[in-house]
Every structure is written in structure tokens, then in C-alpha cells.
Amino acid sequence: MNVVELNKNASSGLVNTEVHNGVLRLEMNNPPANALSLGLMQALKDQLDAARQDASIRVVIIASATPGRLFSAGHDLKELTLHRADEDQGRAFFARTMKLCADLMQAIVHLPVPVIAEVDGLATAAGCQLVASCDLAMCTDTSAFCTPGVNIGLFCSTPMVALSRNVHRKQAMEMLLTGETIDASTAREFGLINRIMPRQYLNQVVMKYAEVIASKSPLTVKIGKEAFYRQADMSLGDAYDYTAQVMVENMLARDAEEGINAFIAKRTPEWTGE
């Protein structure tokens, strides 16, 4: 198996990275809870920004380096609390943290390749937001999810953005207002998770999905992902007008011509990404 370890970023190994067959695996390594500290969020965003510039990357997986415990406990509350002693009572640091978090989540959505969350453990608050921001999410049957900010007087307003775009409104409000933890089956029922499986199969199944996606035309996947998120915020008529034009431009691409010709000739297409 040809696995290539990428260069460590400037955040002291907070994200472990490796690439296999065009699939970039990012493992959060901020024990014990993978709290989304400023350093971890910046490390993740740096890796996503680098992946955007690397044409060989076809899929990204976000996972934990310590599976079976916490996928991510959300924002680092200890780090945030320390800055209450600042002259502005922490306002500037709080703003910086929330801005970086928003930038990270949007970087996932705007990345031209799909991002899969591989969850084994508890994803809470901004950790749940991270799962909701990914294009696909798969978890073990012992994983759990919650947005418990209301329990500590801090409503999960930014996690709400990603959550409400993946989960039905009343179910999102249930999670946000009660702060209660939902199990994997409920998360799938709510629309937060795609697939559930025993722990021993998680990595294998996620890699299978990633490799299937990586085998497609990278141009086609890029076009499709961008169009998916753009049309979602449009009216029905505007969405059809926009996607019709996308289809026209897609049809003119070399990969579409190659794919259709290969289908007709019953052969495997050879993608160029053009």
C-alpha cells in the first residue's frame, strides 16, 4: 500500500496526515478530547487549504487519532475562559475563535473535493458542527452527538448553522434546546449521519466510499459539489435555471465526452480532469 506521510504543519502535530490513492486522511490529535482549540482549527484549515491546491487529492477524510473516545468535544472552553482575564474580557479572542471556526466550516463546504467525517465516539457542540459540515458522515454504532451549549448558558448558535442545514428544523431545535445526546441511530434518522457500522468496519467502509468517489472524474465531482450547495439556497425556478446552465457547461467538458463515449463503447473511462 503506497502511503505517503505529508509534512507536519506548524501546529505541533495537532493533525496527523497521510495520503493513499488520492485520499487525504486528517486525524485530529489534540487529546484528551480533540477540543477545537485555535491551534487545531488552524491546523485543519491549513491542511484543507493545501488540499485545494493539490490536484492529486480527490477526497478528504476527517477522523480522530484516538477513536472510540471523543471525536471532538467542540471549542476549548478552558482556552476561552483564560481570556476572560484580558483587558476586553476576552471579546477579541472570542471573536477570533468564532471567525476561525466559521472559516474552517466554510472551507470544508467550499473545498472542490468531498469531505467525509469518520466518527467513532462523541461529537459535541462544535465537534457536531464539524460532522454536519462534512459532505458525508459515517460513524460507529456506539457514537453519539449533541449540541449541549444551552446546558452551560452558551447556546450553540454557530453549530446551529451547519446542523440546521442537515437536520429537519424541529429535530435541530430539539437538539439545540434540550442539549441532550442522541445515539447513532437517531442521528441517522435526523439526517446527520449517512451510515452506521461496528467499530471494526468503520475505516474499511469509509475508505471504500472514498476510493469509489476518488475514481470519478475530479472535474465532474467539483462541478457537482459546488452546484449542490449553491442551488440549495435558491428558489425552485432559479435552481433549475442555474443547474441547467451547469449541465450545459459540464457536457462541454472533455471528461463528460470521454465518460459518455466510454459508456457507449462499454469500456472504462480515462479521466483527465478537463
> What is the C-alpha to C-alpha distance for residues 107 and 199, in angstroms, rounded to an integer?
28
> What is the C-alpha to C-alpha distance for residues 71 and 55, in angstroms, rounded to an integer?
28
Among candidate residues 103, 106, 131, 118, the one with its CA nearest the CA of residue 42:
103
- The grid coordinates of residue 192 equal 446527520
- The grid coordinates of residue 4 equal 505517503
pLDDT reading at 27 higher than 80: yes
Q: What is the pLDDT of residue 12?
A: 59
Residue pLDDT, tens place only, 119-146: 999 999 999 999 999 999 999 999 999 9
The pLDDT mean for the chain works out to 92
DSSP string covering 209-247? HHHHHHTS-HHHHHHHHHHHHHHHTS-HHHHHHHHHHHH
Mean pLDDT of 153-176: 95
- Which SS3 state, helix, strand or coil, does residue 196 take? strand
- 3-4, strands of its sheet edge to edge: 3-4, 15-20, 23-28, 59-64, 115-119, 136-140, 195-197
pLDDT reading at 190 higher than 70: yes
Model confidence at 209, in pLDDT bands (50, 70, 90)?
very high
Higher pLDDT, 4 or 170: 170
